[in-house]
Amino acid sequence: MIRLKKLLLTALLLSTIGYLHAQYNGPHSTDNIYTVKEVIDNASKLDKTDTLVKLKGYIIEQLNKDSFWFKDESGKILVEIDKKDLSSVAFDENTEVTIIGEVDYDLLEEIEIEVEQLFLSNP
């Protein structure tokens, strides 16, 4: 009986810690919305720190099975979206989306965002 109580208490504490972690809003939080220009201007730093970036805009063109152009009011950037991360609801270049992902910066290649989550703003 004591063992069961300890197990339940541990589970409760771990779930509380996970909940508190999800509420973080400080630096490197994905609640901060970046522009394409900000990502491009800070790509090296964002890549080195593995910062998740959040952007709002439009997927305007598909280049191959997982590469797309993403555009907002400040510019456009290459994004990589795995099929599993695409919306099951059809969307086009006129549908606003929110993406969250990691910046991939290589000196000799195009700056890219590896998308981990994609949300339709108005499905």
Q: CB 8: neighbour CB atoms within 10 A?
A: 10
Alpha-carbon distance of 51 to 102, in angstroms, equals 6
Structural domains of the chain, count: 1
Q: Does 4 fall in a domain?
A: no
Alpha-carbon distance of 52 to 103, in angstroms, equals 7
Q: Does 58 fall in a domain?
A: yes
Give the chain's mean pLDDT. Answer: 82
Q: Does 110 fall in a domain?
A: yes
Q: Does 82 fall in a domain?
A: yes
Write the CATH number for 55.
2.40.50.200
* Structural domain harbouring 47: 28-120
Q: Does 38 fall in a domain?
A: yes
Instruction: Give residue 91's pLDDT.
Output: 87
Closest CA to 70 of 30, 43, 45, 39: 39
| Residue 101 pLDDT exceeds 70 | yes
Per residue in 11-53, pLDDT (tens digit) is 555 554 544 444 444 455 556 899 999 999 999 999 999 889 9
pTM higher than 0.85, yes or no?
no
Mean of pLDDT values over 92-108 = 92
